[in-house]
Structure 1
């Protein structure tokens, strides 16, 4: 009976770890769920009434523990709470038009940075590499990048 209790408690702890510390479907969640199921199956092997009591106790304990951990702020220190604050630079179509000229800041391999009309944008040069500080001409303007060709 001790092994059944140990399996179920370990499974519940692994599920809590899965929910609050390691989000997603990982070995901790799968292992915890498997341990709980195996512990309940072992309890049913000892008799149906023992299995029913173990199943009910496991469900009740899981609900109480999850309720307790959701109410306390202890797990907030361990939980992943980072937010993404970056954004995609967009090309202002009013300031950059096809035919405008500028200079590359980095190597276009086939993409990099270029300065067009005093605005630093991501530039693509399909089919070829362009060295830094090369004069380029805008061919197309897209929302997040421009397509350029070297000026000869």
Structure 2
């Protein structure tokens, strides 16, 4: 019974570590739990069966971990759960000739502090002068810095 518990602890610990490496980003409960389960299984083997079986348990846990990692990476199963989208959209370039300081418009979305503003029937990204500006508020262009329109509410 003790041998079964030791084997299950090590196997479940390795499964948790594989989940951590391939699915869950960062260091989470899965990694900590996996390490604790493997360490607990190794400790139990030393405690119940002595040094020789404990050494064999450590060796087999390391070999089994390596083989599991190689097989998991080689089988490409992680590609099924991986995000495969590409961003192909482009940022609309601001044409300096169309928008000038003093132009008035209306907020299409809330500026917090960035948002969308409609100026002369052109919708552009804009930044407020600091305060949040609600949707459908009239604004005036107070500046253009590095192709970013700076507006303030009227």
- Alpha-carbon shift at residue 88 of structure 1 (Å): 7.8
Specify the alignment match of 1:64 in structure 2. Answer: 67
CA RMSD of aligned residues (A): 3.0
- Alpha-carbon shift at residue 92 of structure 1 (Å): 2.5
Partners of 2:50 and 2:106 lie apart in 1 by: 77
Specify the alignment match of 1:141 in structure 2. Answer: 144
Specify the alignment match of 2:136 in structure 1. Answer: 132
Match of 2:101 among 77, 95, 99: 99
Alignment check: 8 A CA contact 1:11 1:33 kept: yes
- Alpha-carbon shift at residue 38 of structure 1 (Å): 1.1
Residue by residue over 1:20-44, the C-alpha shift from the partner in whole angstroms, topping out at 9 and shown as x without a partner, is 2222222222111110011111112
**2:20 equivalent to 1:22:** no
Between stretches 12-21 and 119-128, larger displacement belongs to 119-128
Residue by residue over 1:83-115, the C-alpha shift from the partner in whole angstroms, topping out at 9 and shown as x without a partner, is 462768466363466524031142655654212
Partners of 1:33 and 1:144 lie apart in 2 by: 51
- Alpha-carbon shift at residue 60 of structure 1 (Å): 0.4
List runs of 5+ in structure 2 lacking aligned partners: none
**2:22 equivalent to 1:2:** no
List runs of 5+ in structure 1 lacking aligned partners: none
Give the match's secondary structure for 1:9. Answer: helix
- CA change 1:128–1:43 in 2 (3 A) is closer
Residue by residue over 1:28-63, the C-alpha shift from the partner in whole angstroms, topping out at 9 and shown as x without a partner, is 221111100111111122311111110000000110
Partners of 1:132 and 1:43 lie apart in 2 by: 70
Partners of 2:32 and 2:140 lie apart in 1 by: 55
Give the match's secondary structure for 2:71. Answer: helix
Specify the alignment match of 2:53 in structure 1. Answer: 50
